[in-house]
Structure 1
Amino acid sequence: MSKFDRPQPPIFERVEDERLHRKQRLAATFRLFAKLGFSEGTGHITTRDPELTDHFWVNPLETDFGQICVSDLILVSREGDVVKGNTPVNPAAFAIHSQIYEARPDVIAAAHAHSIYGKAWSNLGRLLDPLNEDACSFYEDHALFNDCADVVADVVLNTSQAEQLAKALGQNKAMILRNHGILTVGHTVDETAWWYISLEQTCQAQLLAEAAGRPDFLSHETARLAQNQLGTHSGGWFNFQPLYDRIVRDQPDLLD
């Protein structure tokens, strides 16, 4: 490795070690989301199990993000059964995340919460524009799900509606759920968490820019170049590492 090479996501020899790693990152993400004010309502963040790949780990229903530890996470099967843990699963979390994992074998984690700027931007029913280099991470790499306002209640109990949501996501890393909020996916929990945080801030930046005047967009060529450089899986993972280190230092009980 040269002095300019960045660290990369770890590779595990034992599935048990990889499972623990994903769960630790997931618990840390809940704590970070709580600290950032993303914990309103019943959001859900999940990670695919590395061995039972049609199962995923998720937060238990009605548990505050700021209190979640590794031991609180529950494992849910593709049928919606809780196979590890003693608390129920959020039906919406099962419906949405099960369909995303079914449609996207590459996805290891997915995040959806009810953060304020994501909710505000989603009301406009538009994709985000390339206003700055951070926004370019999502250039031509996020989707819009227009039907969310009509089907959000049905998604809870109807996986066919969630299937349409997963189809709308396509191969993108993020999605605007019209009149509802935002969602991100990734090849690691770390990446997924970072994209969610960055997408929320991108929504905030564009709302502020449009409130102040008429924003100036970057050109397609510049935005495409920035996306290729900044919007990578490894880039998303790398940017999350300082946040993980800080939350574990400040709240070490999350690893319990």
Structure 2
Amino acid sequence: MAAVLEKTGIVLDEGRVSIYQPEQKGLIFPELPQFASVSAHRQHLKERLVAACRAFALQGYDYGFAGHLTIRDPENPGLYWTNPMAIHFSQVKVSNLILADHTGKVVEGTHAINRAGFVLHAAVHEQHQDIVAMCHAHTVYGTAFAALGKPLAPISQDAAAFFEDHVVIGDEAGQVAVEVKAGHKVANAFAGVKAAIHQNHGLLTASRHSIEAAAFWFIALERCCQQQLMIEATGQTPRLVTPERARYSREHVGSEYIGWLHFQTIWDQLVATQPDMFD
């Protein structure tokens, strides 16, 4: 059955969800995975979670023990896998991941859980059963932009990917999220969007598709914050993408699938250069 892109009306051939998927058969192109068993699915998710952490390390998103990424377990959706507390992103591997429940109890693994990560991620996963993955880190540009307490402007095609698809959270701005109530306030904001700018704190992304999508859109959001700060530093008023064009671009380059697809280039690089992540 042919698919129709919701906003643009473009009709795609059977089996295609994006205009970027090739129409010509037989070409090498990333394919969404399929699994013969739950254990194979779980192993896949854990490996991609590790890759997302390694990608954050490559981007320089490390800041002490701050930063946490999660993926919901495929068999037990009330549990989620996350990076261990006080382990550098570059040292996260399959063997040191931890599995936790929504109360913050570690049910598998030997490392402790990040308290702030539990408070934020558990609340989002619990309140939004469709969200499977979430990312947060204390980045330079995202944190700086978050101090402005405003959304991204559609200054480019890249920024248009977030047009009407992110929110600014002002609740408890700048107060470290170690109390459960803080997590619930963040969770409330993630209704129907893939990203949030938490004032005086930083960036968060969530995905209803994959950890790859959540990780890539975090990288993209940080980059967009950097670009907007650079433009604002010139003192010039930028020419914005019109709302109609911004929505069109978001439809084609801002979807969960496109986030997943972008991450495949990162995955291939990591597999070739960091085989220890599978230990």
TM over 0.5: yes
| CA offsets 1:178-218 (integer angstroms, 9 cap, x no match) | 00110001110110111000000000111111112211111
1:20 equivalent to 2:53? Answer: no
The amino acid across from 1:49 in the alignment is: D
Alignment of 1:1-256 (within 5 A): 2-3=23-24, 7-41=30-64, 42-149=66-173, 152-153=175-176, 155-156=177-178, 158-186=179-207, 187-212=209-234, 213-256=236-279
Decide which structure has the larger Cα Rg and report it.
2
Larger RCO (alpha carbons 8 Å, 6+ apart) = 1
Identity across the alignment (%): 39
Contact 1:148 1:180 (C-alpha < 8 Å) held by counterparts: no
| CA offsets 1:34-91 (integer angstroms, 9 cap, x no match) | 1110011311001100011010011111111111111110000122111111111011
Question: For 1:112 and 1:148, how far apart are their aligned partners in 2?
Answer: 17
Q: What's the offset of the Cα at 1:9?
A: 2.3
* Contiguous gaps of at least 5 residues in structure 1: none
Q: Could you say what the CA RMSD is over the residues aligned between the two structures, in angstroms?
A: 1.4
Q: What's the offset of the Cα at 1:248?
A: 1.7
Q: What's the offset of the Cα at 1:8?
A: 4.0
Contact 1:48 1:54 (C-alpha < 8 Å) held by counterparts: yes
Structure 1 length-normalised TM: 0.95
Q: What's the offset of the Cα at 1:13?
A: 2.9
The amino acid across from 1:51 in the alignment is: E
The amino acid across from 2:260 in the alignment is: W
The amino acid across from 1:129 in the alignment is: A
The amino acid across from 2:101 in the alignment is: S
Question: For 2:237 and 2:60, how far apart are their aligned partners in 1?
Answer: 29
The amino acid across from 1:191 in the alignment is: A
For 1:63, what is the secondary structure of its paired residue?
A: coil
| CA offsets 1:76-131 (integer angstroms, 9 cap, x no match) | 01221111111110111111111111122111110000110100100000000101
Corresponding pairs, count? 253
Structure 2 length-normalised TM: 0.87
Question: For 1:32 and 1:22, how far apart are their aligned partners in 2?
Answer: 15
For 1:149, what is the secondary structure of its paired residue?
A: coil
